[in-house]
Amino acid sequence: MAPQPLLPSYAGANIRGIVPALLGPGGTGALPAWFPEPVRGAGQVVVLVVDGLGWEQLQERPALAPTLDGFAGGPITSVVPSTTSTALTSIVTGLTPAEHGIVGYRVDLGGGDVVNILRWSTADGDARKRYPPRDVQPFPPFLGELVPVVSKVELENSGFTGAHLAGAKMSGWRTMSNIAVEVGAQLTAGHRVVYAYYDGVDKVAHEKGFGPYYDAELRMVDRMIADLLDVMPRDAALLVTADHGQVHVGPRVLPPAPEVLALTRYQSGEGRLRWLHARPGAAADLLAAACAAHEDVAWVVGREQVLDEGWFGPAMAGPVVRRLGDVALAAHEPVSFDDPLDSGPFQLVCRHGSLTSAEMLVPLVAGRR
């Protein structure tokens, strides 16, 4: 029997609620109950997003991250899909995917024109002129407040940065050792909230899976977090979270069944939450065929059910609905669904995007000096 999908707690302990709570009128003196205690009353807060650091993966390796293991807090939910482009946009805007409209890694932005959101490209190349990032995602980061962003300098001029961080104060780093220096400088400048982003855990998990490389990366992240604490004033708090967790898939990459592909015009999404876009008039047949072929390894769900159950949020405007496919294959087993147009320089070992607890639960933990 298939497990139940872990739906996001959009109105409660969810990554979309972090920034609105910190930047709201009550600040750190009026935080929701699900915030860790060290943040309450803090004069300044550093929000560190460690891409790909799932709660379950962290709990399985406490000895590798003693600094993080000593922090207070617990798990909160990510968004659907549990993928970087969607989750980071929800974190910085404080909005659900239904509201901000970045509804996946590869998104249909118009009549089958599927855009890779992280690269902001299609099969024809750079898509920024056809789909200006600020038109696709118009909401400002950090509720319009000028919050410094300490992120990899190579990301500053990307299309995705233009979509989710337009107008932010960028403070780029080139190596991990620079992160604490940049964060310390922004705290000294007096900013009450500083946002920092690190992508190494996600990269290692994708390329190498769980094992010695992942463990070594987690140790390095924990040392970086200790360095961050060293540069923080006594009344400042370091709040650590993530965009999603990971599932070790390895070679278990499945093509959709031939009878499913026969009813499919094209695909979007990602391997663990694959959207199938039906041929004209074939949506019901596609759903039935996909259920028969794949419900042993995935939650096979039609678009209307996804909307009714609020996977992307409680309300979704028509233009955003049109970015979804007709049938979702959301894997609950450690598999991924292949799309020949969704490829990269190597086969991904760990993956994410679906609604298992390994992907949906992320840490929200905090500490002080």
Instruction: Return the CATH number at 129.
Output: 3.40.720.10
Q: What is the pLDDT of residue 183?
A: 98
Q: What is the pLDDT of residue 344?
A: 79
Cα torsion at 343, 324, 158, 249 (round to 10°)? -40
- Total tally of structural domains belonging to the chain: 2
| 185 and 275 part of one domain | no
Q: What is the pLDDT of residue 206?
A: 98
| 160 and 262 part of one domain | no
For residue 198, is it within any domain?
A: yes
Tell me if 55 sits within 8 A of 46, measured CB to CB: no
Q: What is the pLDDT of residue 346?
A: 81
State how far the Cα of 68 lies from the Cα of 305, in Å rounded to an integer.
38
| 163 and 275 part of one domain | no
For residue 318, is it within any domain?
A: yes
Q: What is the pLDDT of residue 2?
A: 80
CB contact set of 345 (below 8 Å; sequence gap of 6+): none
- Rounded to 5 degrees, what are φ and ψ at 197? -135, 135
| 167 and 216 part of one domain | yes
State how far the Cα of 97 lies from the Cα of 20, in Å rounded to an integer.
15
Q: Which domain holds residue 283?
A: 253-351
For residue 272, is it within any domain?
A: yes
Any idea what the CATH number is for the domain that residue 344 is in? 3.30.1360.180
Q: What is the pLDDT of residue 205?
A: 98
Tell me if 238 sits within 8 A of 232, measured CB to CB: yes
Percent helix, strand and coil across the chain, each rounded to 5?
35, 20, 45
DSSP element (H, E) containing 186: helix 176-188
Cα angle value 217/220/224 (rounded, 5°): 135
For residue 303, is it within any domain?
A: yes
What is the separation, in whole angstroms, between the first and last Cα of the chain?
47
State how far the Cα of 57 lies from the Cα of 248, in Å rounded to an integer.
11
Return the bridge partners of 194, or none.
Answer: 46
State how far the Cα of 302 lies from the Cα of 166, in Å rounded to an integer.
33
For residue 110, is it within any domain?
A: no
For residue 5, is it within any domain?
A: no
Return the bridge partners of 14, or none.
Answer: 77
| 325 and 196 part of one domain | no
For residue 6, is it within any domain?
A: no
211: amino acid identity, one letter: G
Tell me if 214 sits within 8 A of 64, measured CB to CB: no
223's tokens: 């040392």
State how far the Cα of 362 lies from the Cα of 49, in Å rounded to an integer.
10
Instruction: Output the tens digit of pLDDT for each of the chain's 369 residues.
Output: 789 999 999 999 999 999 999 999 999 999 999 999 999 999 999 999 999 999 999 999 999 999 999 999 999 999 999 999 999 999 999 999 999 999 999 999 987 899 999 999 998 899 999 999 999 999 999 999 999 999 999 999 999 999 999 999 999 999 999 999 999 999 999 999 999 999 999 999 999 999 999 999 999 999 999 999 999 999 999 999 999 999 999 999 999 999 999 999 999 999 999 999 999 999 999 999 999 999 999 999 999 999 999 999 998 989 999 999 999 999 999 999 999 999 877 899 999 999 999 999 999 999 999
Q: What is the pLDDT of residue 287?
A: 98
Q: What is the pLDDT of residue 302?
A: 98
Sign of CA dihedral 126, 131, 133, 136: negative
State how far the Cα of 336 lies from the Cα of 329, in Å rounded to an integer.
9
Q: What is the pLDDT of residue 335?
A: 98
Please state, as a whole number, how many other Cβ atoms lie within 10 Å of the Cβ of residue 12.
12
State how far the Cα of 153 lies from the Cα of 182, in Å rounded to an integer.
12
- Examine residue 141 and say whether the peptide bond preceding it is cis (omega within 30 degrees of 0): no
Q: What is the pLDDT of residue 1?
A: 73
Q: What is the pLDDT of residue 250?
A: 97
| 241 and 151 part of one domain | yes
H helices of 189-280, in order, are 200-208, 212-230, 258-261
| 265 and 236 part of one domain | no
| 260 and 239 part of one domain | no
For residue 3, is it within any domain?
A: no
| 153 and 136 part of one domain | yes
| 155 and 172 part of one domain | yes
| 141 and 44 part of one domain | yes
353: amino acid identity, one letter: G
Query: Each residue of 294-329: pLDDT tens digit?
Result: 999 999 999 999 999 999 999 898 999 999 999 999
Q: What is the pLDDT of residue 345?
A: 77
Query: How far does Cα 332 stand from its chain's mean position?
Result: 18
| 187 and 84 part of one domain | yes
